Amino acid sequence: MVSAKSKNKSHYACTECGATAQKWQGQCPGCGQWNTLVESLMESATPTGRSFSALGGASKLQALVDIRPRDVPRQPTGVEEFDRVLGGGLVAGGVVLIGGDPGIGKSTLLLQALGRLAQSGESVLYVSGEESGEQVALRAQRLQLDVGGMQLLAEINLERILDTLSQTRPSVAVIDSIQTLWSDALQSAPGSVAQVRECAAQLTRFAKQSGTCIFLVGHVTKEGALAGPRVLEHIVDTVLYFEGDTHSSFRLVRAVKNRFGAVNEIGVFAMTDKGLRGVANPSALFLSQHAQDVSGSCVMVTQEGTRPLLVEIQALVDSSQAPNPRRLTVGLEQNRLAMLLAVLHRHAGVVCSDQDVFVNAVGGVKIAEPAADLAVLLAIVSSLRNKPLPGKLVVFGEIGLAGEIRPAPRGQERLKEAAKLGFTLAIVPKANAPKLPIKGIEVVALDRIEQAMEQLRSW
C-alpha cells in the first residue's frame, strides 16, 4: 500500500482558477491571486481522444423504483446524549467529524463512547496522534472506564494507520486528531489543507470499503476555515460541533450535517471530574439567576432539533465615544444585529446610531435561528430605556425588514416548555397564537414591531 501511494506525484493547484504549478509560488501563474496554491495529488492521466461510440464500457443504469432501500441498522454507543445527535447511533461505514475548540472535551467524549462500545463487545481502536498511550490510559482511568476490549495505536502516519486498520478491521475507530496525520504521498506539513483533505479522503474510502465506522477529531482553528474541519465537511457523512464556554461546565454537541439523521439536533453535557455526563433535561440551563428584574435581559425559547431550550438574551446599550459605534454579538449573528437596529429605527423610531450595542446569549450557546430577533430587540430597548422587562416573560419571533413579526416553527411546543418552567407571560408572532389557551401562561400575539413597542410602554 505504501509503495503504491508513494508513486503518486503531487503538484500545486490554485483554489481559485484551478491552474497548476510544479513548485509552490506565492502568486498563481493563472489568475494572479496570492496565496491560493495548495498542494494536491496529481490525478492519474486519463486516455485522451477516446471514442464514445464503443458503449461496451458504459455503466449499467438502474431504475430508481427498482432499488429497495434497506433500513440502516444503528449501533447505539450507550452515551445517550451522543446517540441523540448521531440520529440514534452509529452506522456501519459512516464517517463522523467532531470539531471544536481545543480542550472542550472531544477526546473525553470519544473515549467514553469507545469504552461503552468495547464493554458491549465491539472491537474498537483509538488512534492517538496527539497524546501518548500513557496519557490516554491515564484519562481512561480518570473516567473509570472498563478498557478491556480497547486497542490503542499511537501513530501519525496515514499509510501505517491504514495498514493497521485493514489488518485488524475494528468495527469503530477514532482518529484523534486528523490535523496530526500526514501522508507519504504529500510533501506539505501535517495540518495543512492538502494533508488534512487527503488523509480524510483515504480514511473515508477505507470506511466505505470495510464497514468500519470512523470518527475524525478536528480542531477548529481561530481563523475558522484554514485547514480546520470545514474543509472536510463535504467528505464525511456527519459533522458534529462542540459549543459552549470552556469556562462553564456545560457543553453542547450539535449536528450540522447528518446523512443518517436530523440536523440541528443537540446533545447537552456537563463536564464533571469523571468526564462528560449527559443532561437529560437541559431546557433551563441557559438562564441566569437575577435576584430582581434587570434591564437589558429577555428570555427566549429556541427550538434545537426536537427540543425547546430557554435562553436568556442580554443586551447592553451604552452611549458611544467612537465615531463608529460598536455592534458586538456573542452567540448570535453580528450582521443580523445591524439589520435589527435598522428595522428598529425605521419602523419604531428608536435611535441607536450614537450608542454602542452589545448582545450576548447566556451560557455560550450559539443561536442561529431568526426566531431570536424579537428577544434581541426587546432586550436592546429595555437596556436603552433602562427599564426591566417583566420577570416571567418569554418571547420568540423573527423580524422582517418591513417591521413585521414572522412566525417560528413549532410555536406550541415552545410555549408549553416555557409554561412548564414557570413563565407566565409570552409575546409571540400572531401566526403562532395557540388555538386553545395553554395553562399557566398568558399569550400576547403581535404582528408588527410597533405593537411590541407599545406593549413595552404599557409595562
CA 182 to chain centre: 25
Tell me which amino acid residue 155 is.
E
For the CB of residue 272, give the shortest distance to ligand TYD in the complex, in Å: 6
Q: For ligand TYD, which is the closer residue by CB, 130 or 163?
A: 130
Nearest to ligand TYD of 108, 238 (CB atom)? 108
Q: Is 112 in the site for Mg ion (CB under 5 A)?
A: no
- Partner from Mg ion, ligand TYD, none binding residue 274, C-beta < 5-8 Å depending on class: ligand TYD
Nearest distance in Å: CB 103, Mg ion: 8
Say whether residue 204 binds Mg ion (CB under 5 A). Answer: no
Under the criterion CB under 6 A, does residue 390 sit at the interface with ligand TYD? Answer: no
Which of 233, 258, 336, 246 lies closest to 74 in space, CA to CA? 258
Radius of gyration of the chain (CA): 26
Minimal distance, residue 403 CB to Mg ion, in Å: 47
Beta carbon of residue 339, minimum distance to ligand TYD (angstroms, whole number): 34
Pick one of 191, 275, 364, 388: the residue that binds ligand TYD (CB under 6 A): 275
Cα separations in angstroms, 274 against 109, 149, 210, 277, 279: 11, 20, 34, 8, 14
Distances (CA, A) of 86 to 250, 264, 304, 340: 19, 11, 14, 34
Q: Give the one entry of ligand TYD, Mg ion, none that residue 104 binds, where binding means its C-beta sits below a cut-off of 5 to 8 angstroms depending on kind.
A: ligand TYD
Q: Residues 100 to 119: which contact ligand TYD by CB under 6 A?
A: 100, 102-108
* Residues pairing with 328 in the sheet: 358
Q: What ranges in 104-192 are assigned the alpha helix state H?
A: 106-119, 133-142, 158-168
Q: For Mg ion, which residue of 107, 180, 183, 302 counts as binding (CB under 5 A)? A: 107
| DSSP 8-state assignment for residue 448 | B
Q: In 10 A of CB 209, how many CB atoms?
A: 10
Closest contact distance (angstroms) between CB of 241 and ligand TYD is 11
Which DSSP string do the residues of 325-336 spell out, in sequence order? --EEEESS-HHH
Q: Are 104 and 253 in contact (CB under 8 A)?
A: no
| Least spacing, CB of residue 196 vs ligand TYD, in Å | 17
Stretch of 80-88, 160-168, 273-281, 443-451 lying at the interface with ligand TYD (CB under 6 A): 273-281
The residues of the shown chain that bind ligand TYD, judged by CB under 6 A, are 100, 102-108, 139, 142-143, 271, 273-275
The residues of the shown chain that bind Mg ion, judged by CB under 5 A, are 107
